[in-house]
A and B are shown apart, each in its own frame.
Chain A
Amino acid sequence: MSIQIKDEFRVSPFLVLFLVHGTQYGIGVLSFQRDVASIVGHDAWISVIITGVILHLLIWMMYSMLNKDKGDLITINQHTFGKWIGNLLSIFIIIFILSHTITVLRSYIEIVQVWMFPLLKTWPFALVILLAVYYIVTSGFRVVTGVSFLSVVLPFYLVFTFFVPIEFSNFRNLLPVFDHSFVEMARSIKTTALSFSGIEHILFFYPFIQKPESSQKWAHYGNLLTTSLYLLIMVVTLVFFEHEYLNSVIWPTLMLWKIIELPIVERFEIIGVTSWAVVMIPIICVMFWSASRGIKEIFKVKQKKALVLLLFICFMISCFLTEREMIQQFNKWQSEVSFFILLIYIPILFVCYHIRYKLRRKG
């Protein structure tokens, strides 16, 4: 019972790199350092590497299920847990994805409000972004892929800006290596879950890839790219900030940009925040695409209608999140749920699916 998608709607396997990296690398990267460093201090870069390796494992698990099932998350859930429980689980995942879009959208608007325009209203800005998202997602998966390709390639120059703070850095801050216990390391991995999540969308767009089996290595490359960028940013942050100072900074990555001074631009972080709009759009697009696609399959409704509903919910909740403390609390919950979905749900699904698969073979 596999899903067949017409060839003209599918994308080349190598584009999975941009889809995976594009959805991982977004809002979390601007602020993930503090939460990790507050637990493991100067060893935070190690937990970034460990998380990266764990995610490689998860990608492998997802592909091993998908390659057998030839479907997507909804069919896998149905085959593993039966129709009712399976669909219920899928709906939970869709709700999680929806709240993730709210996190990304609202966090970005908050950054614009704090760093650039304090008087900017949330709702007109959200409306314009969501209009663009509607336009992109209704144009189909190929356009969504194209947008995530551009969003990885166009702002790539920002990578070089992370080398500038090294001038004022002290590499002694990284020593001594591995000065924290395994328990602390494990706890710190939990805080990185939100910034690394994004790979779960493979479970949705797998049928839309030509020769999907061959795309696995590109998914791994995508995750590798994300991990190395996070590692670079984490190391630079740790050598640039003293530990106690880092604990009081909300967006360390934007603070890294504050030290950059160009003859024509006094405040580089404004260029950074503006470029981040390009980085952030495809995440929201891929997420909305996945969520609406899931609803379409479960309830057999048109994807466009599902999308309009999701956009409306996202818009309303984003507007209700008005204060920093509320947004922070929402992000915290989101991070907990991300951790649960990525590191508990997917491995359990993996085990259950393979048991069911073996049983069905025998039967």
Chain B
Amino acid sequence: MIKKVKIAAVLGIIFSALFFGRVPSQILDDLNLASAVGYDFAGENRIKTTSVVPVFNPDKSVGNETFTATDELSKETLRKMNLSSARRLVNGKLEVALYSKELAKRGIGDLLDTLQRDPSISERLLVAVADGEAEQLLTNKYGDRDTGVFLSMLIDQNIKAGLVPTYNLHLFLNNYYSKLSDPFLPLIGQKGKDVQIKGIALFKGDRFLKTLHEDHQFVFKALLEKLKSANYKLRLKEDEFVVIENVNSKHRVRVRNGKHTPEISIGLRVKGIIREKMGKTTNKREIHYIKKQMKKQLEKQGTEMIRSFQQSGIDPLHLGNEVRSRTRNFNTKKWLAQYPDIKITIKVDVDILEKGVID
């Protein structure tokens, strides 16, 4: 008798698990996996969302399909976009999220919420600011891939070998949440039919403030991380230039008197190889001159850049965190008040390792 009850109980549990424990399945072929999403400003508190879905054609080429919808909330635009999609649109494979410049100027804090709250969005998502309309940028097709993958490869390539500092959604959010530092994002725009990285967009909190000066990009990346292989164009005379390649760099921050009025000195060490030079000769004297000029130019660019950061009250270089980590009982409010006026010096050491195969 007891045995029968037991068997009945076990069967009952298995049946109820099979009947009630089911969740709707999502079959990959029946889904539209968005690879990029773009947000545009569409009136007060309204956004226009554009989603890009790759279409795999029978002839093995990859095309694009874009959906657009307008609403107050990002997830609601997703529902509206689904109204015109034959397969369900989901965002588990999102690679790039673009915000138009206009929207970024008004603040993207509320829009970031969906990217954080939704567990299906990767922490490696690349966020960027679109110069102009994000919709326009996403509906065009570039290269042989779909736009989402193309943009993510484009940004990735420029992080690895170019002048975009290492970042992803996680690092962006770290800077965004931190009271001590401010985030930055790459600025992507169209140039004719192509798309290109136009620079670095600097944020104050969640608002786009200004773009980083083109000349400052090198020193900006060098002060954030170790450069592995970057290019640097150096002006020797009015119309004489030289290109230093494979630049390695290291930087070190020193803080004095962190308790009261901090003084920050940054040491930057740069090593590189000469690859192209106007006015052929590269003798010992010339190399010495190049080193001196490079040091001067980098120090000037660095000081200018930091000065402009101080004037606008932003800190994308994490200098606040450097001071905090060296000061006991750090006072955030006091630091933020002091920041525009503290003394920050930058000292550069340059090494030219090789000069190619000719003298």
Q: Is A184 an interface residue (CB 8 A)?
A: no
A261 touches B124 (CB 8 A): yes
A124 touches B21 (CB 8 A): yes
One digit per residue, 1 when the CB lies within 8 angstroms of any chain A CB and 0 when it does not, for chain B 107-125 equals 0000000001001101110
Stretch of B39-47, B171-179, B273-281, B289-297 that contacts chain A: B171-179
- A241 CA to B174 CA, complexed, in Å: 6
- A244 CA to B24 CA, complexed, in Å: 37
Q: Is A38 an interface residue (CB 8 A)?
A: no
B21 touches A168 (CB 8 A): no
B93 touches A266 (CB 8 A): yes
B93 touches A117 (CB 8 A): no
CB of A141, distance to nearest CB on chain B (Å)? 21
- A266 CA to B95 CA, complexed, in Å: 11
Q: Is A296 an interface residue (CB 8 A)?
A: no
Q: Is A190 an interface residue (CB 8 A)?
A: no
Whether A176 touches B326, Cβ cut-off 8 Å, given contacts A245-B174, A259-B123, A266-B92, is: yes
Hey, which chain B residues are within 8 Å of A174, CB to CB? 325
Q: Is B328 an interface residue (CB 8 A)?
A: yes
B178 touches A121 (CB 8 A): no
One digit per residue, 1 when the CB lies within 8 angstroms of any chain B CB and 0 when it does not, for chain A 159-175 equals 00000000010101111
Q: Is A326 an interface residue (CB 8 A)?
A: no
Whether A121 touches B170, Cβ cut-off 8 Å, given contacts A176-B328, A242-B177, is: no
Hey, which chain B residues are within 8 Å of A241, CB to CB? 174
- A43 CA to B177 CA, complexed, in Å: 19
- A175 CA to B329 CA, complexed, in Å: 11
Q: Is A139 an interface residue (CB 8 A)?
A: no
| Tally of chain B residues near chain A (CB < 8 A) | 37
- A125 CA to B16 CA, complexed, in Å: 10
A172 touches B123 (CB 8 A): no
A173 touches B325 (CB 8 A): yes
CB of A309, distance to nearest CB on chain B (Å)? 15
One digit per residue, 1 when the CB lies within 8 angstroms of any chain B CB and 0 when it does not, for chain A 258-278 equals 110100001101000000000
Whether A259 touches B321, Cβ cut-off 8 Å, given contacts A128-B13, A266-B92, is: no
Residues of B near any A CB (own CB < 8 A): 10, 13, 16-17, 20-21, 23-24, 92-93, 116, 119-120, 122-124, 166, 168, 170-171, 173-179, 181, 318, 321-322, 325-330
Q: List 30 A-B contacts (CB under 8 A).
A: A117-B23, A120-B21, A120-B23, A124-B21, A125-B17, A125-B21, A127-B16, A127-B17, A128-B21, A131-B13, A168-B166, A168-B170, A170-B318, A173-B325, A174-B325, A175-B326, A176-B326, A179-B329, A242-B174, A242-B175, A242-B177, A242-B178, A244-B179, A245-B173, A245-B174, A258-B123, A259-B123, A259-B170, A261-B122, A266-B122
Known: A173-B325, A248-B177. 8 other contacts (CB 8 A): A170-B321, A172-B321, A175-B325, A176-B327, A179-B328, A241-B174, A242-B178, A245-B177
